[in-house]
Structure formats: C-alpha cells, structure tokens
Structure 1
C-alpha cells in the first residue's frame, strides 16, 4: 500500500519547493449553520424546514419536496469533522453546500440571501482553517445576473476557489444560452465549477430501492456532459474548469455511442467541432465510482491527468476511506494514484490556492 505523507504535519518534501502536495477531496458537503439552528428552533431556513429523523439524520423540507440526508455527520461543524477526514488520509476538503439546498426553484428573493449566507460561512471556514478547507460557492442560478455577481464576489472577495452547480437548473440543461454567462464568468475568473446532480428528472421511474440515487444521479450527470458537448458549449468556453461528480455518471461508458452518434446523426454534429470523446478529455471527473474497474475505465477514457479525488463526505453513499481505497486499486500505477490524490487537483486549482500564505 502506498504511504500517504501529510504536508504540514509530516514534513514531507519533493522537488517542487520542499513540500509534498496535499491530498485534496474536491467532493465534500456541509449543512449551513443556519440550517442546523433551524432544526432546533423549528423556524425555516430561507424557505426550508430542517427536521431530525428517527435515525438522527437531517431531513430537509421545502414546500412539498422532502429529502433525507443519509448521515448524522451533517450536523457537524468545521471543527468537528476535521478528525474524521484527517483519519481518512485527506488533508484538504473542498467544501460545498449539500445539493438539496441548491433549490433553484425558489424565488430569487429567497435564494440570493441564502447563497450569500452560505458563501460567507464558507469564507469563515477557509480563513479559520486555511490549511484544511477550500470552498465552492453556491449560486442562485434562477437569477443568472445575480449568479455572475455572486461568483465574482465569492472568488475575488471571499477567496473561494469556484462554485458547485446542479446538473440542470429547473429542467434547463447547460447548453441553454441563458446559462452561458455563468460559464463565461467562471472561465474568465479561472474558477472551478463542480457539477453535481440536484433533483433527478427520472425519479418517477425510480421510486424504490434508492435507485433515484444509484441510477438517477449518474443519469443527470451524463445529461449535463452530453448537453455541454453536443450543444457546442465547450467551444464557447474552451478553458473552463469543469469537474463532474461520481466519475462523470455514465458518460465514459457511453463515449462510443457519443462518437458514433456524432458520425451518423446530423443533429449531433450541428454545434460541436470535434468528436465528443475529444471534449470529454478536456473535463475533470472525481474518483467516486465505488469500483476499481470503473475508475480504471474513466482514466483510460479521459486520461490520467483528468481524475481527482472525491468522497461525497459525509453522505452514506460516499467513500469513507478514500486514500486506502485508491492505494489498494491494483490496476492503477503509483503515478496514477498520486495523480488522483494530489497532482491533478494541484494543477486544476493551482498549488498556491491549496496552501496558506507563509
């Protein structure tokens, strides 16, 4: 098993200036402090009631929409969770709000102050624990202009590294011209956009067995990737930094159909200038596949430089021992393992954004 060196705590060094790059988890979620307090007071947090299930886990209720979070660790604040992810071998968490709180269906008047509150709290995390946390803003995407402004504020004033966004916005895919200003702003700012499922549009077909997660989430991510590719969006924003959750859903497994469709279907060639598989290699994907074979396939499809560590902490569908798991994947070379754990995200986010100023 590969030894994991903890920068800043172990005194590791390498040829890039005497320090080992940290192990970075780009896929970690939190429940805002205001929402945690709402569970005690009974008052809604920006339109959402927060309840505690019989198992002690959070339940979020917004209008008729009710969703349970699968772990009691969502109640933990930034200090309480440090020991857990440190023990798992992770040095830095890149934190975003739990996706059920994206809530793009709310009125903008409710969503904008909620986003401000979430992002201000993330700023507090990253300034109080600068060696351990980086933040991804939430955006009120039901108001594109406000989202562009908030992304600028998040990066330039709050010091966050980008934003987490849903795979669609109220049913609107990312090839929509309406959403292009957000992508352009992210590209101009050099901000990472982490794309995560938020509200599966096939839940009616998946009512049992939690398949809305097992199948619905990868479906949503695949649709987001397909929309960006076939809509020609990646030609509009060629330098954008996009990271997709859960190994990119089914996109890598479907790449052959993407390319074949491009060759034989005129509507699939209307906008993109290149083969879909070429665009796929411009994107980043997290490692959360729960299968060494699937992870190997993603790497073979998009390249070893395009995969970064993601755990989905603290979700029950997450990866509890990510470093041990990556280290145990016999089909990966040591260079590929280090790429997933450290090197690729250091290029994606720049090393200076992952280390506090000395």
Structure 2
C-alpha cells in the first residue's frame, strides 16, 4: 500500500489587532503613580486611563494585566496561533514633550521585542513611535525594524490633529516604505469630541470616522503615487471607507478639490492596495469589504483584550457565509504570513 500524502499545512491563524499594557504601566497603577504622564485608575470596578484630564475606558483591567502565559492560554482556546502586539492606543501620547515621547516609545518597543524573542512562534510586534517629532519617529522606526526585529509600527489616525497627508509626517511614511515596514493605523484621538460626548459615540461612531478620514487623507494626497511600496493596514475594517468609496470615486470624477493633492487614480484603485482587519462585528460588513478590495487585502483582527473586540475572531471568519475556503484561509493568516514575511509554518495540528 502506498503511503498516504501528508495533509497540506494550513496558514497560521494570525491576529493583527491586539493590545497590551507595558509592565511599567501596570506597576505604576498598583502604586497610584503615573507612567509617562498617564495614570491608570479603577472607577466603579472598571479600569480607565487618565490622560490630559480625559478618561479612556479600558474594558477589563484583569485582561490587560494578565501574564503572557495566561494570554497564550486564551490564544490557544480561541485557536489563534500568533498575536501581533501593539501598545494600547490611549498610551501613544503624542502630546508628550519630544524627549519624553522618545523615552516612552523606546521603553515600549524594547518590551515588545523581548516578548517576541521569548515566544518567537506566538508573538510578533508593532512599534509605537514618537510622532510628535517626526525625525525621532523615523529613527525609532529604523531601530524597531532593523535592530529589534519588529514588523512595523502602530500609529494613530491623526497626530495632534494633523492628518496623514500633512507634509511633516511624510518622512515617516517614506521610511516605512523604504524599510518595508507595515503601518497599522488605529484611532487614538477622536475628532470632533462634543457631538460624540454621549452614549459612547466617541468609540461607536468616532473610531470608524477617524479611520475613514485617515484612509481618505492618504488616498487623495497622492502619497501612494509617491510611495507605491507603502504597506498600510487599517483597524476596524477601515471604518466607513469601503462603504463610502463609491462617493469618493464620484467626487474625484466631478470635483476639483479631491484632485489638488495629486492623486492620479480613482480612490478605489488606491483602496485596493491597502489592508483592512476583519473587526466589523457583522458578517454582512465583512463580505462587503471582501467584495470591495478582495480577500487578499483583509486580515484577521480582534482588538484583544478590549471589550469592544471580537471574543472569537477565528470563528467569526470561519462562519461568515459567502466566503470561499480560500478566502477564509487568506483572511485568517495567509495574507499576514505574506505581509509580515513570516517563514513557512511547520504543519500545525
């Protein structure tokens, strides 16, 4: 009897959208101290980050404070092979003095790198950058990628109110393209605040709005014509960008204003070069994004361990009707294996 062929190895299940708290921040919370200008507090049994007098709810502090061993257990229970770690966004702190921002970024990135070295088959890392000083941010991105071995950086949808078409931020994008570093774009500071002050609208509507503005700013600025190798991934399914791309295309075709940035193509053509995570909380929305940009540009994201995240991101993708098995495998990990240049997997049981 001839031997049976071995089953083909499946792509690893890779989660692009996971956050962590540095140990320094956890230790500071336990003593009531600040960590680089941020104080963690527990109010009515729920944790918050206090930054510049503003309170950011954090979901479950026990999840953020958990050991990496406990985190690995949760990953295994949810069939997640690899988490890509990035800093909790309220701690990006682009408002800090540049020297303090650099120190905070170095602290965070060194810790992420240490985790990826200890568990190289389970964790990858995205740096945080002191974007209040773009030149320093370029240097830290170079250090993070070339020396620490991180895959890129997680960045806010705006930097102290400046969108990503702002000329001062172009050197950061240029460095990311040169280094082939992935930029994961995540809301950090939502604008405007007042209309979104109630009902948690700052998150429910504000976060997707911020991400949409980031996508559109990059598209219409002509950045992707100047930097065709730039690799961008947007959190929360890219906000409303994929759902509003038809209006952007129409505006580009009939108005002068969308053309002043130098974009040479219709917005859809740029959108299809970007990547979007699967965190939509809706199978219908996920299917629409796949139809808009192709399954090869959608990656799994959970927002772990936030309460607004997906409890079971693998099952969410696997149970999405209308996707082919090839689509599912690409979203669950195949795309990120390619995008992050992860070596081929040993057969996973």
Q: Calculate the TM-score normalised by the size of structure 1.
A: 0.92
SS in 2 for 1:140: coil
Shift of 1:354: 7.8
Aligned residues of 1:33 and 1:77 also touching (Cα < 8 A): no
Alpha-carbon shift at residue 58 of structure 1 (Å): 2.9
The answer to whether 1:84 aligns with 2:74 is yes
CA distance in 1, matches of 2:43, 2:64: 12
Aligned partner of residue 126 in structure 2, secondary structure: strand
2:53 to 46, 64, 70: 64
Q: Give, in angstroms, the shift of residue 345 of structure 1.
A: 1.0
- Per-residue deviation, residues 196-227 of structure 1 (Å, max 9, x unmatched): 00110122101111111110000000000000
Gaps of 5+ in 1: 1-11
- 1:212 and 1:323 map into 2 onto residues whose CA distance is 27
CA distance in 2, matches of 1:354, 1:180: 35
Mapped partners of 1:192, 1:266: distance in 2: 32
Mapping for residues 250-265 of structure 1, pairs under 5 Å = 250-265=240-255
- Specify which of 296, 311, 316 is matched with residue 320 of structure 1: 311
Q: Is the 8 A contact 1:131 1:354 kept in 2?
A: no
Work out which of the residue numbers 125, 147, 156 in structure 1 matches 2:137.
Answer: 147
> Is the counterpart of residue 242 in structure 1 residue 250 in structure 2?
no
2:3 aligns with: none
Partner of 1:171: 161
Partner SS, residue 171 of structure 1:
coil
Q: CA deviation at 1:54?
A: 2.9
Q: Write out aligned runs for 1:313-352 (5 A).
A: 313-352=304-343
Cα separation, 2, equivalents of 1:354 and 1:231: 38
Matches within 5 A, 1:270-281: 270=260, 271-281=262-272
Aligned-partner SS, 2:96 = coil
Aligned twin of 2:205: 215
1:309 maps to what in 2?
300
* Shift in Å, 1:175: 0.4
Give the drift of 1:62: 2.1
Structure 1 counterpart of 2:107: 117
Aligned length: 339
Cα separation, 2, equivalents of 1:342 and 1:63: 38
Task: Tell whether the 8 Å contact from 1:58 to 1:75 is kept in structure 2 after alignment.
Answer: no
Q: Tell me how far apart the structure 1 counterparts of residues 36 and 100 of structure 2 sit (CA, whole Å).
A: 6
Provide the rounded CA distance (Å) in 2 between the counterparts of 1:336 and 1:311. Answer: 18
Cα distance in 1 for residues equivalent to 2:125 and 2:43: 28
Report Cα offsets for 1:94-140 as digits up to 9, x if no partner: 00000000111111121110100000000111011111100000000
Contact 1:58 1:74 survives alignment (8 Å): no
How has the CA–CA distance of structure 1 residues 259 and 238 changed in structure 2, closer, same or farther, with 3 Å as cutoff? same
1: CA distance, partners of 2:139 / 2:71: 31
Contact preservation (8 Å) 2:196, 2:202: yes
Q: 1-side partners of 2:131 and 2:246: how far apart? A: 32
Regions of 4+ moved over 6 Å: none
Please provide the CA RMSD for this pair.
1.4
Distance, in Å, in 1 between the alignment partners of 2:165 and 2:228 is 14
2:345 & 2:123 partners in 1: Cα distance?
9
Q: Secondary structure at the match of 1:138?
A: coil
In the alignment, structure 2 segments of 5+ residues that lack a partner are: 1-5
Which deviates more, 289-298 or 323-332?
323-332
TM-score, structure 2 normalization: 0.94
Q: CA deviation at 1:190?
A: 0.7
Following TM superposition, by how much is the alpha carbon of 1:13 offset from its aligned partner in structure 2, in angstroms? 5.1
